[in-house]
Chain A
Amino acid sequence: DAGVTQSPTHLIKTRGQQVTLRCSPKSGHDTVSWYQQALGQGPQFIFQYYEEEERQRGNFPDRFSGHQFPNYSSELNVNALLLGDSALYLCASNLGPPGSSTDTQYFGPGTRLTVL
């Protein structure tokens, strides 16, 4: 039973660049959520995708966007990178739909993004 996978593991970018992070959900899951975890903090919710649509969004600017594919995998895109975007980006999956699920969210190993 494959768990949540993320790629790449680490990434180094410079200010102003754009980055794409990828996530494959746990087998059987159809809902993907993205979180940003700054150093020394708990994860902060960015957004959630279900049925290829963004269903919920946290307090993040439009520079953060995403996509979900028919196979339920997902991408997180961040444009015009800032130094403050340096963080661990975690992907989590569960069985939807949003608002009715009682399933636990399972997390991937994360992508550590460093912006110089």
Chain B
Amino acid sequence: AQKITQTQPGMFVQEKEAVTLDCTYDTSDPSYGLFWYKQPSSGEMIFLIYQGSYDQQNATEGRYSLNFQKARKSANLVISASQLGDSAMYFCAMREGTGNQFYFGTGTSLTVIP
């Protein structure tokens, strides 16, 4: 079974609007971390936001927030007030408590339309 599933290959959003990128995960480990990375065409993976499995509140980092629904095993990324520079690939990743290996999804390509 896939550890991380991203079901949206591509998304479009109007500039200044909010957008939600979906991510579901699969693990039996009670301790895990969920991450979102942005990958522009240059290739570098840029860390955006982290959510720990025991965190009570949803993580927020500036315009990024993580909608963490533990029972549904989902960790959706919400980008508010989209900017043209937000156009990139977005990857959801998980690290299980037993190691530092990251499991990545297949990514979502976000295009911000002026």
Chain A residue numbers with a CB within 8 Å of B100 are 31, 33, 48, 56, 94, 96, 98-99, 101, 105
The A23-69 residues at the B interface (CB cut-off 8 A) are: 31, 33, 35, 40-45, 48, 55-56, 58
Does B43 reach chain A (CB closer than 8 Å)? Answer: yes
Count, chain A residues at interface, CB 8 A: 30
Interface string of B18-61 (1 = CB under 8 A from A): 00000000000000010101000011111100101000000000
Whether A42 contacts B33 by the Cβ 8 Å rule is: no
Q: Which residues of B contact A90 (CB under 8 A)?
A: 43, 45
Q: Nearest chain A CB to B22's CB is how many angstroms away?
A: 14
A112 adjacent to B43 (CB under 8 Å): yes
Tell yes or no: B83 within 8 A of A by CB.
Answer: no
- In the complex, the answer to whether B52 meets A104 with C-beta atoms within 8 Å is no
Residues of B contacting A112 with CB < 8 Å? 43
- Please determine whether A33 and B106 come into contact, CB atoms closer than 8 angstroms: no
A-B contact count (CB 8 A): 69
Residue of B nearest to A48 (CB): B100
Chain B contact residue count (CB 8 A cutoff): 26
Out of A35, A99, A102, A104, which one reaches B47, CB within 8 Å? A104
Query: Smallest CB–CB gap between A31 and chain B, Å?
Result: 6
Question: Could you tell me if B106 and A88 are in contact, using CB atoms closer than 8 angstroms?
Answer: no
User: Quick check: A104 and B35 within 8 Å, CB to CB?
Assistant: yes
Once A43-B102, A92-B102, A99-B99 are accepted as A-B contacts, the answer to whether A109 and B42 lie under 8 Å apart by CB is: yes
B91 within 8 A of A: yes
Closest-by-CB residue of B relative to A106 is: B47
Nearest CB of A to B5, in Å: 11
Task: With A56-B100, A96-B100 as known contacts, state yes or no: A110 contacts B106, CB within 8 Å.
Answer: no
Instruction: Write the residues of chain A forming the contact surface with B, with a CB cutoff of 8 angstroms.
Output: 31, 33, 35, 40-45, 48, 55-56, 58, 88, 90, 92, 94, 96, 98-99, 101-102, 104-110, 112
Enumerate chain B interface residues (CB-CB to A < 8 A). 4, 33, 35, 37, 42-47, 50, 52, 91, 93, 95, 97-107
- Would you list the 7 A-B pairs with minimal beta carbon distance, nearest first? A42-B104, A107-B45, A109-B44, A110-B43, A45-B101, A98-B100, A43-B104
